[in-house]
A and B are shown apart, each in its own frame.
Chain A
């Protein structure tokens, strides 16, 4: 199985900060990586798919990059509604694994 690691696991930030989350895969996954945002009690929300394609309706402050084994999610200017947990997911091979999550909290 392909393992995904995320760093950091926890991130304390302020409104307006630039935030970067890294997802590393245990083997190459081409660009079959998605990023999700999840708030407590809610279903995950797709932000980025195919590593860098912004999902329709998602603000442009979110961006994704990378290929192969290392990927990043960047929030250019953190907004109050962005405090949440973020997960990466690989769809290169079954089983479709998720990263353990990065919780973004208010400093």
Chain B
């Protein structure tokens, strides 16, 4: 059974750092594109970052560029999001998600999601 388990969230002061983790099971995560998506309390979904197979193409939303870093640990079948210089507007539930591709191998959606981990940035 394919499963993603998010962890690492918590309360952090503005300017602080957190490292989120997402452990995959039921599939080899290095063979799939993966992404982080966040949702502020009571708000909609916001794509944060993505990494492709081979880790050669990494993208970030402008709102987190230069502060967040996405990475993989293939030995542990896991994905990480290092979040530095956190701001109050980063407060959200963070989800990791697996990419599904179409017949032409283009990214077409996110088919499996973690349960989410809450990050609260507040003094």
Residues of A contacting B: mostly: loop
Given A43-B113, A96-B50, are A50 and B59 neighbors across the interface (CB < 8 Å)?
A: no
Point out the residue from B47, B108, B115 that lies within 8 Å of A49, measured CB to CB.
B108
A49/B111 in contact, CB under 8 A:
yes
Interface segment among A12-20, A67-75, A86-94: the answer is A86-94
Contact B44 A49 (CB under 8 A): no
Q: Which residues of A contact B100 (CB under 8 A)?
A: 46, 49, 55
Known contacts A44-B45, A95-B61; decide if A34 and B50 are in contact (CB<8 Å): no
Contact residues in B for A32 (Cβ distance below 8 Å): 106-108
Contact flag A46-B111 (CB < 8 Å), given A32-B106, A95-B59, A96-B50? yes
A44→B109 CA distance, assembly (Å): 11
Q: Would you list which residues of chain B between 71 and 123 have a CB under 8 Å from chain A? A: 95, 100, 102, 106-111, 113-116
Cβ-based interface call for A100 (8 A): yes
Nearest-neighbour CB distance to chain A for B106, whole angstroms, equals: 7
